[in-house]
Amino acid sequence: MASQLLFYIQCILLILSYWSCSIGLTFYNNHLFREWDIPLATTTIHFMVIFVLAGFCRKGRQIITGKQSVVLSWRQYMKSIVPIAIASAMDIAFSNWSMVYITVSLYTMIKSTSVLFILAFALGLGLEKWRNSLIIVISLIALGLFLFVFKMTDFNLFGFSLALTASALSGARWTLSQVLTQKAELGLSNPVDTLFHLQPVMAVAMAPILFIHGVLPFLTTSKLFGANSWHIWMPDSARLLGGAFLAFFLGLSEYLLVSKTSGLTFSLSGIIKELATMLLALKDGDKLVFINWVGFVICVIGIKVHAYFKWRENKALGLKGASPQQVAMEQSAALLDSDSDSDEIIYAN
């Protein structure tokens, strides 16, 4: 009983930490990127700072406990880390870039549709079978998104496309991330180890779009390298790095929440967080009419309907209590398995 109570307390603290960091970083980035049009360079710097912070944490843990930190082999790294790192980098980069063009409320709404892309990702890998109930789920979420953007005066197609692409990448990112953190033989259940291994590839993955779009504005902005004095450069640099620390703690809370609970818990806590973000966005100047709120409610209903159908299916299969993400995680774990015989069996099926 005591251990169960402790588990619930840990879950509540993790959820509150996730909400605080996520909502705080959303508004922080929104204000920063609207003032400084350097989202890609800032994102890359954040990746590098997070890598350094994770390295210090690993070293400190090693000194205190006397245990060596996990270091994956190159084969494990290329097979298990690189795909997730690339998806994560593009998800975060496009999300941050979209904030230059769209409001927080529209950004939040688009990102909540990632369940559609989780479904598509699972269907493409054969982890999910097509069911007629998916028509209801897809229709509700698509209708909700349409109504939310209906008659929006500040709608921007490019920003919308960036956020929608990020939402698609988010589906792949979190499906594979749960596999990564809960696969015992990799030893990456600790989020510090996960972040440490992910960040180098994430920073490198930013290079192509960074050189095309982000380098020149970053080097010439009057807020940083183009500043006239140290009195401008120092506080602006501190402001830039402050977002990296917030992103680091958000990464810790996200991976802890996914690895210690389930994808379903993460998804449900995310819906509540999105509602709170929408309400705060109204206070921050966003404008929504009644039809937009109807769209938001319909979208949430679509997500809940999907969770219900998956619960009913799992119960029929004797997996009572398992979340949809847990079932997908167990199936997709085999796709990341290094055993070639298992790979042949999976693709044969």
- Select the more confidently predicted residue: 53 or 241: 53
Q: Which of 64-68, 107-111, 254-258, 306-310 has the highest mean pLDDT?
A: 64-68
Residue 99 neighbours by CB distance under 10 Å: 23
The whole-angstrom separation of Cα 46 and Cα 60 is 21
Report pTM. Answer: 0.72
Task: List, in sequence order, the alpha helices (H) in the chain.
Answer: 2-35, 39-65, 74-76, 82-98, 104-111, 114-124, 133-149, 157-182, 191-205, 207-209, 215-220, 230-260, 263-283, 290-316, 324-333, 340-348
- pLDDT at position 242, please? 84
Residues 6+ apart with CB under 8 A from 62: 68, 69
| Range 8-12 average pLDDT | 80
Apex CA 154: angle with CA 148 and CA 159, to 5°?
Answer: 80
Predicted confidence (pLDDT) per residue in 122-159, tens digit: 677 666 677 777 778 778 877 887 787 776 656 788 88
Residue 276: exposed, middle, or buried by beta-carbon count in 10 A (0-12, 13-18, 19+)? middle
Mean pLDDT estimate for the chain: 75
Q: Which of 75-84, 249-258, 322-331 has the lowest mean pLDDT?
A: 322-331
The whole-angstrom separation of Cα 150 and Cα 254 is 32
Predicted confidence (pLDDT) per residue in 212-254, tens digit: 776 666 666 666 666 666 666 677 778 778 888 888 888 788 7
Taking the chain, what is the end-to-end CA distance rounded to the nearest angstrom?
Answer: 42
